[in-house]
Structure 1
Amino acid sequence: MPPTPMRRLVRWSLAAAMAAGAVTAVAPPADAAASRIRLGSTSDVTRPAWNGPAFTMNGSGSVVTSSMTGALDDIRGGSGSLDVVVLAGSAPSSGSKTPECDTIMTLSGVNSCTTWTLTAASDGNNAQVNADIRNAEFVYFAGGDQCRYAAWKGTALEASVELVVAKGGGSGGGSAGLHINSPLVYDACKGSVTSSEALANPYNRYITFTTGMFAWPNYQNVINDSHFVTRDRMGRTMAFVARAIKDGLTSNGSAWGVGIEEGGSLLIGADGHSTLYGKDAYVVLGDHQPEQASAGTPLTFRDYKIWHLSPGDTYDFAHRPTCGYYLRSVVSGTADANLYSGTPQTSCAT
């Protein structure tokens, strides 16, 4: 039977798409958990060496083009192109199914960008997912639910992302993707905690952590937090830091919280030196045991050291500064006023 006009149209459309190599979609069976959409070249770049690692830590889920461009340039040494994989725990409810890749494909030096939407913990062992990650030079974790990402701990996916970083590539993410990129992860697996709840009880049932997943160079003893000023999360980061020290989740009796505002992004290079883009960020250091941190009791922790970073400011995670901070305390669950601004105790210029 000769092809109908509709069949001819479908056949022509598929042929044109394959010839262009611009979009490749792998449609899973109806009961499958993983889906794949690739933009750009259908072939991966091959190169013997890369110049990273580099990391982007974003306060909200969207890609920040300035920091992403910097990370990709660092990794490729300013020449050639590379491949990016975006990992998401759920598909966007509306609009483009590949919002991060849509932005990344506009940047210089990008050969391809592949979005994988993975909705089951077992997807971390999907062979095609891991092949794509291992062939990439940058892995970006989208916003969403960091508990889904924490469920990939111990799967092949964890090892694949670590391989990308080890070969001189990079990792990053925003919102939930920011959380999963710190060595101590607030996983929110039992729900999201507010600052007032966390300060009133640092062992609130909504405060749960994942440890032992990603441990990036120069970023030890850190717990990330997102949407920082907009959602008033300084208080809960203070509680996270106190918990980390009290429970021995970090080493040397210290813990650093890194809170990034929506639209902000820290670009961290291979040497641990970081530059802030977009919006403000905060580094919160606890360097002693909390005076009071126990279940059902309000937190007391005096003299957190806080660095307030504005766009363009730098912070060296390899050689962490001992100057330029202001002090704030929490006593019986009540935090000092003006948590987000203060006069530095000492100037790093002196």
Structure 2
Amino acid sequence: MSPSRNPIRKRLAVLVTAATLLTVAPIGVTAAQAQVTRVRQGSATDVSRASWSGPAYTMNGSGGIITATMNQAIAAIRGGTGSIDVAVVAGSGSGTPECDVITGLSGVNSCTTLTLTAASDGNNSQVNTDIRNAEFVYFAGGDQCRYVAWKGTALEASVESVVAKGGGVGGGSAGHHVNSDIVYDACGGSATSAIALADPYDTSMTFTTGMFRWPNYADTVNDSHFVTRDRMGRLMAFVARSISDGRTSGGRAWGVGVEEGASLFIDRSGLATLSGPSAYVVLGDHQPEVAAAGRPLTYSNFKIWRLTSGQSYNFANRPTCGYYLKSVTNGVPGGSLYSGTPVTDCSTPPPSGGSSYAEVEANDSRATANDVTGRSYPLTVTGDMKSTTDRDYFAVSLASGQTLSVNCAVPTAYDADLYLLSSTGSTLTRSVNDGAGTDESASTTRTASGSATYYVELEAYSGSGGADYGCTVTKS
């Protein structure tokens, strides 16, 4: 559950000036109902226009408006001319902090705060009129369990109509959660990373699907306050649950974690650009090895993209490189989850050097193996399965007590298997997961004294192609 809206807020003041009209009115109230509050700031008359240039979206890691991305959304929807009306939807509180900011931005005609306190308020006629007349709807921070209660009400269709006409939506904290395809609704309480990894089916791990599915944003599950509250572990569990429960359309799920003070602006083409500290996109592209009630999560090779301010991620054409790999075994993450060595080169073949190495053919046997012993670690090794009989060998030196770990991201063009071999060619361990595009990982520890040469072997099992695999090789 996201934190409640900031209690340190300006109380409502009714101000009338030549430039701003603010009205406060309870709507749809009976003696047995809680009050629905409507506060309008700016013009009392909605903009009338035949077409708009969106959609546009803002996904914020905390509840407040990020002016950089809000300005981008306003500009995209306006298409360079005119002004827009904004509706802010909240589930609690009595202030107008979002509209206080929004009304001061260029290109805004009005901003109306709608505070709904019951599920039935989603069918309130004035609420839905305001939303449908708006060009941007922002879901405030608060409690996303209240928000998902509006699923199936008129409000759901009203918000969708705003996007359909070329407007936009956004949200922060709880409002960020509700705008993903799969919503962590927190109706059973708030899960921490420790809880989620120890048992991905804990009672606090509850989800709602089928509320909103925005163009280019399918199969996503959002999380907020991301680094500050150490939520990478629970987002990994969200992703694994989404796949295990069959909530996604293709057996894959993307987690989108946005840090406090950061915001993703997503344009009509699906390109997301970050403003603020950081955001992470976490891809799970296979079934969890272990995801069951009462058991800790085991999932190999999450693919993680880390974005810093100004960097982008294309949700319409989702990238196949640029990620680093992280695994969870028996609920325990494999090292720091917030950084890693990324696969950064999508070319065939990519250049060698630095912390990466591109295979040099022919390396089809131990005798012709590419020697990567002198490279710095962790090392990203790339190559491809040029034929259905291709084998790629890489030689690594391992000292006594050292553990060699290899995590390979395999493209969808083929199925490749991973083997770790001794100096004599004996198979020490292997990873032979089925299916094109299925990733592989294996590790082995040298227990004998002294050092020796070990071999990493990638072998084509089914299919071939020029698409690069990327293997992260570590020694610890």
In 1, the alpha carbon distance for the partners of 2:310 and 2:64 equals 19
Give the SS at the match of 1:206: coil
Q: CA offset at residue 27 of structure 1?
A: 3.2
Larger Rg over CA atoms? 2
In 2, the alpha carbon distance for the partners of 1:301 and 1:171 equals 33
- Superposed CA offset, 1:65-115 (max 9, x none): 0000001100000211000000000015xxxx1000001011110000000
In 1, the alpha carbon distance for the partners of 2:299 and 2:84 equals 46
Q: What one-letter code is carried by the residue in structure 1 that aligns with 2:270? A: G
Q: 1:14-29 counterparts in 2 under 5 A?
A: 17=16, 22-28=21-27, 29=29
Q: 1:115-154 counterparts in 2 under 5 A?
A: 115-154=113-152
Q: What one-letter code is carried by the residue in structure 2 that aligns with 1:154? A: G
In 2, the alpha carbon distance for the partners of 1:317 and 1:279 equals 20
- Superposed CA offset, 1:195-223 (max 9, x none): 00000001000000000000000000000
Aligned residue pair count: 333
In 2, the alpha carbon distance for the partners of 1:217 and 1:157 equals 19
Q: Percent identity?
A: 66
Counterpart of 1:265?
A: 263
Cα pair 2:199 2:293 within 8 Å, conserved: yes
Cα pair 2:26 2:35 within 8 Å, conserved: no
Counterpart of 2:192?
A: 194
Q: What one-letter code is carried by the residue in structure 2 that aligns with 1:48? A: A
Cα pair 1:33 1:123 within 8 Å, conserved: no
Q: 1:296-307 counterparts in 2 under 5 A?
A: 296-307=294-305
Q: What one-letter code is carried by the residue in structure 2 that aligns with 1:24? A: T
Cα pair 1:33 1:120 within 8 Å, conserved: no
Q: 1:224-303 counterparts in 2 under 5 A?
A: 224-303=222-301
The structure with the greater share of residues assigned to strand is 2
Q: What one-letter code is carried by the residue in structure 2 that aligns with 1:23? A: L
Cα pair 2:84 2:108 within 8 Å, conserved: yes
In 2, the alpha carbon distance for the partners of 1:104 and 1:348 equals 40
In 1, the alpha carbon distance for the partners of 2:99 and 2:124 equals 21
- Superposed CA offset, 1:112-167 (max 9, x none): 00000100000000000000000000000000000000000000000000000000
Pair 23,344 (structure 1): closer, same or farther in 2 beyond 3 Å = same
Q: What one-letter code is carried by the residue in structure 1 that aligns with 2:21? A: A
Aligned pair partner of 2:101 in 103, 106, 114: 103
Counterpart of 1:113?
A: 111
Q: CA offset at residue 347 of structure 1?
A: 2.6
Q: What one-letter code is carried by the residue in structure 1 that aligns with 2:297? A: L
Runs of 4+ with deviation above 3 angstroms: 16-21, 27-32
In 2, the alpha carbon distance for the partners of 1:225 and 1:200 equals 18
Aligned pair partner of 1:213 in 211, 214, 231: 211
Whether 1:174 and 2:176 are equivalent positions in the alignment is no
Whether 1:52 and 2:54 are equivalent positions in the alignment is yes
Aligned pair partner of 1:204 in 202, 205, 209: 202
Give the SS at the match of 1:245: helix
Q: CA offset at residue 22 of structure 1?
A: 1.4
Q: CA offset at residue 19 of structure 1?
A: 7.4
Counterpart of 2:325?
A: 327
The structure with the greater share of residues assigned to helix is 1
- Superposed CA offset, 1:292-312 (max 9, x none): 000000000000000000000
TM-score, normalisation: structure 2 = 0.68
Give the SS at the match of 2:121: helix
Relative contact order higher in (CA < 8 Å, ≥ 6 apart): 1
> Structure 2: 5+ residue runs without aligned partners?
1-12, 351-476
Counterpart of 1:6?
A: none
Q: 1:28-47 counterparts in 2 under 5 A?
A: 28=27, 29=29, 31-47=33-49
Let me know the Cα RMSD of the aligned residues: 1.6
- Superposed CA offset, 1:217-246 (max 9, x none): 000000000000000000000001001111
Q: CA offset at residue 17 of structure 1?
A: 3.6
Counterpart of 1:61?
A: 63
